[in-house]
Amino acid sequence: MPGSPLNPFRFGNVVIDEFADRESELAEVEADMRNGQDLVIFAPRRLGKSSLVLKAAAGVRKRKALVAYLNVMTAPNKTRFAERLAAAIYSDVAAPKAKLRDKALAMFQGLQIAPTITVDAMDGHLGFSFGIGHTEADVDRTIEMLLELPAKIAAERGQRVVLIVDEFQEIVDLDPDFPKLLRSVFQGQPEVCHVYLGSKRHVMRDLFSDANEPFWRSAKQMEIGLIPPDLFGPFIVRRFRATKKELDQDVCDQLLGITRGHPYATQELCYSLWEQTPFDGRADEELLARAMELVLQSEHAHFSLVWDGLAAGQRVLLEALAREPGRPLSGDYRDRHQLSPASSTQVALKALVDRELIEREEDGGYRVMEPFLAEWLADFVS
């Protein structure tokens, strides 16, 4: 229908327009960037850490800071890491303005490995390639020289530089010695704010909290959690109402009871519910049930892959925790759910925690982390 409002809920991509809550975290991250305080943010995937940091980055850009963003997940090896890093530094730090491009390109030609630079015919962006067949020492030196550029540019121009490294824990898979290289450069860069994001919390904690690791106590630590339902609820109701649809508070409470304030899950279920609700209509329990059914169908392929990748003991334990969050190492719990002996259950428990499929709660018990996974297990597996 021409002129009809569009669905106001989005999931799957970075969102930096309107947040539900997160105001205090946003202000804190932006202040740390302005002040040059290195920061590490832990959060499972789909909890909104990238959206939060990129929104803060937009704020400091308005104050003339230069911000480069790199996602290590896009780099399967160190050469690709160097190429992605070079492109990010060039476009966002070295040459944000056309008049700086020639001077900026000279910086990159002076690297240990001179890159081949190409121009994208569609958008004019430059691509950097370091080719193949180089020694590991030359690749490492090239990366080291690239990492030194933000500080040099910050000093020359008198501007704060912020370097955001997303999925930072993946550097360990690129090279176990990679953290030493990065830390050796970063520790001498007071002009640069380094922001590290990570979704594998156990790896990130090892990197930043283990006294034997190069990044030990090198950055302020922040953990992003769920959004409290009492703060998420008004945001959801307001977005329904602004698009000519109504959502009763009790239905909103039921929705948040399912998602527990998980940002991605809440946006996904709200998206589905909004689509089921007619304009000038009201979302009710029946429409919520239908929306939930559609979400589970949409997530089926993802959860099936997760399930297929689990060992038998992990599957049994995950099913048990989906039915009853609790303490799976206790004798009573294992008896109720016919689990393996405590030693085997402990191994399965650690594996599920490391995969971020379950999480430990404040009372010492465990529960399934993704809100829809427990519902999917009940419908499609049990």
Residue 43: band (very low, low, confident or very high) from pLDDT cuts 50, 70, 90: confident
What's the CA gap between 55 and 49, in Å, rounded? Answer: 10
Give the side-chain half-sphere CA count within 13 A for 20. 28
Tokens of 31: 């202040």
Give the model's pLDDT for residue 16: 54
The mean pLDDT value for 255-268 works out to 93
The pLDDT assigned to 105 comes to 82
What pLDDT score does 20 carry?
A: 62
CA proximity to 25, closest of 265, 237, 231 = 231
The answer on pLDDT for 201 being more than 90 is: no
Higher-confidence position of 16 and 90: 90
Query: Could you read off the pLDDT of 137-189 as tens digits, one per residue?
Result: 999 999 999 999 999 999 999 999 999 999 999 999 999 999 999 999 999 99
Average the pLDDT over 209-213 and give the result: 94
69: helix, strand or coil: strand
Report the share of the chain in percent with pLDDT over 70: 95
pLDDT of residue 151: 96
What is the share, in percent, of the chain residues with pLDDT greater than 90?
71
Instruction: Classify each residue of 203-232 as buried b or exposed e, where b means 16 or more C-beta atoms within 10 Å of its C-beta.
Output: bbbbbbeeeebbbeebbeebebebbebeeb
Residue with tokens 């010492």: 364
Measured distance CA(275)–CA(291) in Å, rounded: 8
Is residue 283's pLDDT more than 60? yes
